[in-house]
Structure formats: C-alpha cells, structure tokens
Structure 1
Amino acid sequence: MKKIILSGEIPGILAYADNQPIAWCSVAPRDKFPSLDRSRVLKRVDDLPVWSIVCFYIARDYRHKGLSVRLLKEAKKYCKARNVEILEGYPTEPRKDLMPDAFAWTGLSSAFKQAGFKEVARRSATRPIMRCRLK
C-alpha cells in the first residue's frame, strides 16, 4: 500500500467512520495486476480491456455489516467516472456458510452479486470470475 501511495497512484476506494479509515477496496486496470495472468484460475476471459477488483480490507469492528457491497458500488461509480466499460472481480465462494475472515480478502461472490456483478467464467469450484458492464 505504501508503495502505491508513494508512486502517486490512487490505491482504490477508502471508507471512513469518524474520520478514520475503516475499509479499502483495491481497484485499478487489470494490467496493474500481472499475477492474475499467471494464474490458471484467474487468467483473462477475453481480450476486452477491464479494470479489476482484487482485494478488500475491512476493519474487524465493521465486518459483516454490508460494507463490501457498498465498496463495490462505490468502485463502480469510480470506474464509470473514468469511462471504464467492464469491471471484474475474483471473489471467493465459500463451501460452507461461514468462512474465516482471513480467507475473504478477495470478497465474497454474494457481495458481488448484490452489487450487480454476474459470473462470466469459473475455473475453480470456489473462485468465479465476475463482471459488471458499466456502459
């Protein structure tokens, strides 16, 4: 995070409570995340230009309160204002009703669905690729 901020790049979407940062959603052009293309599960679906949501952080006291859905909706607004046509995410789909928070850092597919994303590919039982068309 420090490296991103020092470079002058926008690190994504931040949420605040009482003037304190409580949550973060990483969003940027997919090309900023070269490790995605090295993954057999998360490799490109097609050659369309997309922006990617790759990570969330939500402070412990604010988890399980719908904040990830709000962050996703704000990420959509942010991208729309930058003329992004397709926003893509790589959430986890838990095999059980509840999973440890430490494993939910890419977001949950249920939150992406609530924010208007649709599954476009699945190369793993627990990792769909989900997209939202912004135009």
Structure 2
Amino acid sequence: MIEPVRVVPANEATWEDLQAVLGTRGPGRCQCQRYKLGRGESFGSFPVEERADRLRRQADPGHPGGPTSGLVGYLGADPVGWCAVEPRSAYDGLRRVFRVPWEGRDENRADASVWAVTCVVTRAGFRRHGVSRAMVAATVGHARDRGARAIEGYPITTTDVIAEELHLGTVAAFEAAGFAVVSRPTPRRVVLRIDF
C-alpha cells in the first residue's frame, strides 16, 4: 500500500526540500518563474540563480505571497512534490503573454479572487505514487481557505506532449480533484476550473 502524500504550504517547507523536488534540470532551471515574469522580462534574460532567488522570496514566510505561492508534498520524510498555486493575478506572464486561459472567455485577468495552478512537479524517483494527484487535490482547499472564489488549471493533454510541458499537470489529475472542463482552446490544451 502506498502511503498518503502529506502536503504543506511552501513557507512551511525548507528551501532544501523544495530544491530537492525541483532538481537541477527542467523545473530546476525554471524555478517556477516562467509565468511570474514581469513586463519587459524574458525568460532568458536572467540566470537560474536569479530565478531561484525569486522563488526563495516567494516561498519565504516573511514574503507577502509566501503562504500562497505553492505547496510542497512529502512521502514520509522525503520531499516529493511541488505545486505552484496562488491568485491568478500574481502570474503577470500568465495574464499578459499566455493566451490559453483567455481564448473564448471574457473575464477580468486581474481578478485576484480567481486562483491558478501553473506548475505540478513530482520528484524523479517518486513518480507513479499519486503525488501529482495529491498535489492538485490539495490546491482546492488551500485556495478556498484563503478566500478564492474559483481555481483554474491549464494542463496539456497527454497525447503528443513534450517533457517541458508536463509541469502543467494532467487533465486526469485535475478531474480527479473535482475540476471541470471550461474550454479546450487548442487541440492540446484544456482549461479546467472549480467555482466555490
């Protein structure tokens, strides 16, 4: 029997645990900053060390976004999962650049009461243990308890997916957590949502 994944807000986990989950490739290079980029910033314009510093501040208990920047999952004492979840308005790059959430919808992009799940990572060696499903499921209560009126995810379908896109989670993980399809803006992308 697989033990349950224990999930805590990022500001209750250690920086070392978060970095153990992200690793040094893929998510480790991004440091969950792709959708956090501000106006005029490009992903390649600052090194991984700067990205890591930004994530450290976002996950720090003293940072205003610390308690809501994400979640860390554990199997026993092992850090095994990361999930970025906070108000959609905190993701400047998501609001300005990423067109998927807005295709066919007329909605206020700056509405801080709608939260977004932008990254779901399972640590290498711990896949197929239900980590991503547990992480996505934990976002629901986390957002609702902090005043969200809705929460969204933007997973890629599992057909014709490349490794760099797996960080968005899977449709199955979101559906298992109670998210419902809002739209399918591209053949490979789904927008799912829960309204509270």
- What interval of TM-score do these two structures reach, taking the shorter chain for normalisation? 0.7 to 0.9
Q: Taking every aligned residue pair, what percent have the same amino acid on both sides?
A: 24
Q: Does 1:40 align with 2:94?
A: no
CA deviation digits over 1:29-79, x for unaligned, max 9?
001101112222233732363100000111111112221111111111111
Alignment of 1:124 with 2:183, yes or no, is no
The aligned amino acid for 1:51 is W
* Code of the aligned partner of 2:168: T
Q: Whose helix fraction is larger, Structure 1's or Structure 2's? A: 2
Given residue 116 of structure 1, which amino acid in structure 2 is its aligned partner? G
Structure having the larger proportion of residues in strand: 1
CA root-mean-square deviation: 2.0
Q: Which structure has the greater CA radius of gyration?
A: 2
Residue 14 of structure 1 corresponds to 72
* 3-state secondary structure, aligned to 1:60: coil
Q: 1 CA distance for matches of 2:168 and 2:118?
A: 6
C-alpha separation in 2, matches of 1:68 and 1:29? 20
- What is the number of equivalent residue pairs in this alignment? 132
- What pairs up with 1:22-37 in 2 under 5 angstroms? 22-37=80-95
Say if 1:14 and 1:22, in contact at 8 Å, map to a contact too. yes
Structure 1: which 5+ residue stretches go unaligned? none
Structure 2 unaligned regions, length at least 5 = 1-54
* Residues 100, 185 of structure 2: 8 Å contact kept: yes
- 8 Å CA contact 2:73, 2:79 repeated in 1: yes
When normalised by structure 1's length, the TM-score is 0.85
Q: TM-score, normalised by structure 2?
A: 0.61
Q: Work out whether residues 36 and 43 of structure 1, in 8 Å CA contact, stay in contact via their aligned partners in 2.
A: no
The whole-number CA distance in structure 2 between the counterparts of 1:18 and 1:95 is 32
**Which residue does the alignment assign to 1:56?**
120
Point out which structure has higher relative CO (alpha carbons under 8 A, 6+ apart): 1
